Amino acid sequence: MNCEQAKKLDAFTVAKKLGMRKAKERKNEVWFYYKNEKTASLKIDTRINKWYNHSLGQGGNTLDLIIHILKCSVSEALIFLNNDTNHFSFHQQQPRKITLEKNYQVMEIKNLQHKALIDYLTSRKINISIALKYCQEIHYKINSKKYFAIAFKNDENGYEIRNKYIKGNLINKNITTIKNRAKSVCVFEGFIDFLSYEMIFKDKNFNMDFIILNSISNVKNILQKIKKYDKVFCYLDNDSSGRKATSILLNSHINSLDFSFLYKGFNDINEYLIKARIGT
């Protein structure tokens, strides 16, 4: 099962498989308790197959729900779906607390060279010369199955991983900071967005630091970090979660600027790079 298939799964069925406690059901809405709360705040709209956690202001598709409840990466969520509980152990040590046990082994990290990965980057309009500056190639094993992906290192010595079929992380999850002793910083949601920026402005000589969130949920974790900068340029997605995160950044720094106008009409800066035919 890939990401697109996972997103289309029945959210209500998956919620029950995750062990969520149902509070009430009416018409097209099913309400669940989130963790050990007394008033149910997580709603699934069965008509559109979407969920929303009113206590945290987060929502999305079925794949997002698994990530939200298990606090795991995309790759781990797909493993959960594909292999049920074979690769995860769930322990009810406290009410509604789920402990995730990872079962993978990193075999090798080397220079980016696999043709399939280069082809994937090419499909995203990312030149290999730019990718090589920031990315590596990681090979890892889950039980007896071997996998490989593009690896983008984060600040906790973990790796954000990506290939045609999977998006996730290994070892640790955190932001990535790229420092150039600059007075301004650009903020991106993921490393493909950052590489897209590098493609678009490859002929410019901007002196910038960069923060890649690697997860939109990390936005509040950088609020102290951006205070030292004179200006903050935001290049987040044009979806609801991206707009909300941008609003948080704009409200936290007087000199924050929303640069998503650059790719207005597109979901993100990479889609703009691909569809607007930048540099062609």
pLDDT in tens, the chain (280 residues): 788 888 989 999 899 888 898 999 888 899 999 888 888 999 999 989 999 988 888 889 999 999 998 888 888 888 777 754 333 333 333 323 333 345 678 899 999 999 999 999 999 999 999 999 999 999 988 777 788 999 999 999 999 999 887 888 888 889 999 999 999 999 999 999 999 999 999 888 889 999 999 988 899 999 999 999 999 999 999 988 899 999 999 999 999 999 999 999 999 999 999 987 665 4
Nearest of 210, 254, 252 to residue 231 by alpha carbon: 254
CB-CB contact of 25 with 188 (8 Å): no
Sheet strands side by side (includes 42-45): 21-26, 29-33, 42-45, 50-53, 58-60
SS3 25: strand
Residue 150 gets the label, from left (phi > 0), alpha (psi -120 to 50) or beta, of beta
